[in-house]
């Protein structure tokens, strides 16, 4: 994330309100990334395709299909995202930028081929009685999204914000335009899915062009990341467990007999839960902007000073001062996230019912939307705490915290399903609250003992 920090630091020093607003805008969009934009594209396509796709129920088929693609690809690629992020950061620190792209291709080959072999029988098993074209598009879409998520992590380190934002909007805007055109041409739900898949292909090609330009490769494919000591293996379960923990409540609501229903093939959705939870994730954008600006700018500046002083034999008073600065910046960043998410939640409470009515969404969803928005805000706090622990190299700790989040979300969400509709969403909130308290407590203790662990345990 070095590149994003440098560029946001420059933008955040702007003396104009417009410059500062631009910094927050960049941080919010880059931080939220394709995950939120994918949801937005699905919602827009659903609205635009009404009356175009016949029968109208096929729109629900498309939205459910893409949601499952996003969920499965994020869970599958979670460990790869984190592990390759760390590998790329280490190579850039060692001034070996020529290894980044060849090893990107290497890790995509190593993870993409098994996914392709798994996805073919999976499509045949989960999607009976569907057209061959639909099954083929689902297989291609799953593999493309796996690549998109890994590339997104690498793109976060680039300084070319305008090109990166243009690429995101070109990809997802193209998805919407192509899907609508194909559906209008009579291709139906398969046309919508084809447009989405082509949009992901555009993002991949554009992303690779940006990476190639920033980090020209010495060779095409390389497996240097498999050398001993090059790959931090604890990041693999951390990413897998974290993403599984994020999706655990959604999967339970899809598969639970009282809340889920079959949509296409054996893919299920939840009329009760899906709309509120996915709308709630849009409330993450303001907090994500603050998260990136405070953590990747202020915290990282103090982090660099601290470890530079340690490596270069700085005075103990200076080292302690930089540690204090790190602690203060981390705490202020977390407080700012709480404040921004709090204001966002208050705005949602005030304007939520009117906004739902304006977009034609039943206002009965509002109570669950408000509850889920609290859980999403707490999830951002978990991400902030984990981010600090990643920087401090507490990788086993992050894996344990991610496992706790998964178990808590499964347990509390299952309990809420058994208790009935009045308790829906509270399981997600309780799981994120428990995990947020755990990660912030652990982070605080790690920061307090940082000098000791830096000098005595290394």
pLDDT (tens digit per residue) in 35-75: 666 676 666 666 555 555 556 567 788 888 988 999 999 99
Q: CA angle 340-344-424, nearest 5°?
A: 120
How confident is the model at residue 191, as a pLDDT?
A: 86
Q: Which residues of 205-228 are buried (b: 16+ CB within 10 A; e: fewer)?
A: ebbbebbeebbebeeeebeebeee
Cα–Cα distances (Å) from 88 to 207, 340, 360, 380, in that order, read 16, 32, 45, 24
How confident is the model at residue 4, as a pLDDT?
A: 46
CB 151 within 8 A of CB 208: yes
CA distance 28 to 45: 23
What are the φ/ψ torsions at residue 223 (nearest 5 degrees)? -125, 40
How confident is the model at residue 215, as a pLDDT?
A: 82
How confident is the model at residue 143, as a pLDDT?
A: 94
Cα–Cα distances (Å) from 256 to 57, 259, 272, 435, in that order, read 22, 6, 12, 24
Q: CA angle 305-306-309, nearest 5°?
A: 80
Cα–Cα distances (Å) from 210 to 89, 156, 176, in that order, read 17, 11, 23
Token pair of 6, please? 């440098």
CA distance 408 to 249: 10
253 burial via Cβ count (<10 Å: 0-12, 13-18, 19+): buried
- Helix 366-391 and helix 395-419: axis angle, to 10°? 170
Count of other CB atoms within 10 angstroms of residue 349: 13
CA distance 72 to 247: 9
Rg (CA), the chain: 22
> Where on the phi/psi map is residue 50: left (φ > 0), alpha (ψ -120 to 50), or beta?
beta
Q: CA angle 375-377-381, nearest 5°?
A: 110
DSSP class of residue 229 equals T
Token pair of 97, please? 């930028």
How confident is the model at residue 270, as a pLDDT?
A: 92
CA distance 143 to 157: 23
CA distance 160 to 26: 11
How confident is the model at residue 6, as a pLDDT?
A: 45
CA distance 237 to 243: 10
* Residue that the structure tokens 């494919």 belong to: 221
Distance, C-alpha 38 to centroid of its chain: 11
**One pLDDT digit (tens) per residue for the chain, 458 residues:** 444 444 555 555 555 555 556 666 666 666 665 566 667 666 666 655 555 555 656 778 888 898 899 999 999 999 998 898 888 888 888 888 888 889 999 999 999 999 999 999 999 888 988 899 999 999 999 999 999 888 877 776 555 566 777 787 788 778 778 877 887 777 778 888 898 899 889 989 988 888 888 888 888 899 998 888 888 899 999 999 999 999 999 999 999 998 999 999 899 999 899 888 888 888 888 888 777 777 777 788 888 888 888 888 888 888 889 888 888 888 888 888 898 889 989 998 888 888 788 767 788 889 999 999 999 999 999 998 998 999 888 999 999 999 999 999 999 999 999 999 999 999 999 999 999 999 999 999 998 888 888 877 65
CB 221 within 8 A of CB 105: yes
DSSP class of residue 265 equals T
The total number of residues shown for the chain amounts to 458
How confident is the model at residue 2, as a pLDDT?
A: 43
Distance, C-alpha 293 to centroid of its chain: 17
Handedness of CA 172, 174, 176, 179 (dihedral sign): negative
CA distance 179 to 149: 21
How confident is the model at residue 456, as a pLDDT?
A: 76
pTM of the complete model: 0.89
């Amino acid at each position: 994330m070095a590149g994003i920090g440098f560029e946001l630091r420059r933008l955040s020093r702007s003396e104009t309100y417009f410059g500062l607003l631009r910094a927050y805008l960049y941080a919010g969009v880059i931080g939220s990334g394709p995950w939120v934009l994918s949801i937005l594209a699905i919602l827009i396509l659903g609205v635009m395709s009404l009356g175009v796709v016949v029968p109208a129920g096929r729109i629900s088929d498309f939205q459910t299909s893409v949601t499952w693609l996003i969920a499965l690809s994020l869970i599958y690629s979670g460990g790869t995202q984190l592990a390759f992020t760390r590998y790329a950061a280490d190579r850039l620190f060692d001034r070996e930028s020529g290894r980044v792209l060849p090893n990107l291709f290497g890790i995509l080959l190593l993870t993409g081929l098994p996914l392709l072999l798994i996805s073919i029988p999976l499509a045949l098993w989960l999607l009976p009685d569907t057209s061959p074209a639909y099954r083929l598009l689902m297989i291609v879409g799953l593999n493309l999204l796996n690549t998109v998520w890994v590339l997104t992590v690498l793109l976060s380190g680039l300084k070319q914000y305008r090109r990166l934002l243009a690429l995101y909007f070109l990809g997802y805007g193209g998805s919407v335009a192509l899907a609508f055109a194909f559906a209008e041409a009579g291709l139906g739900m398969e046309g919508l899915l084809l447009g989405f898949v082509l949009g992901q292909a555009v993002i991949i090609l554009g992303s690779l062009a940006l990476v190639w330009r920033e980090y020209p490769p010495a060779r095409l494919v390389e497996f240097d990341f498999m050398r001993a000591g090059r790959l931090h293996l604890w990041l693999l379960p951390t990413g897998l467990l974290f993403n599984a923990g994020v999706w655990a409540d959604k999967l339970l609501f899809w598969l639970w007999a009282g809340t889920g229903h079959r949509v296409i093939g054996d893919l299920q959705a939840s009329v009760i839960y899906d709309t509120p939870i996915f709308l709630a994730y849009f409330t993450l954008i303001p907090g994500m902007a603050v998260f990136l600006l405070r953590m990747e700018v202020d915290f990282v500046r103090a982090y660099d000073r601290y470890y530079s002083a340690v490596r270069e034999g700085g005075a103990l008073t200076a080292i302690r001062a930089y540690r204090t600065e790190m602690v203060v910046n981390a705490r202020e960043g977390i407080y700012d996230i709480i404040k921004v998410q709090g204001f966002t939640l208050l705005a949602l409470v005030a304007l939520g019912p009117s906004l739902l009515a304006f977009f034609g969404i039943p206002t009965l969803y509002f109570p669950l939307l408000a509850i889920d928005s609290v859980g999403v805000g707490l999830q951002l706090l978990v991400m902030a705490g984990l981010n600090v622990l990643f920087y401090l190299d507490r990788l086993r700790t992050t894996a344990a915290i991610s496992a706790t989040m998964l178990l808590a979300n499964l347990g509390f969400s299952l309990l809420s399903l058994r208790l009935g509709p009045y308790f829906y969403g509270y399981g997600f909130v309780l799981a994120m609250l428990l995990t947020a308290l755990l990660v912030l407590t652990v982070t605080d203790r790690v920061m307090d003992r940082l000098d000791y662990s830096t000098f005595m345990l290394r």
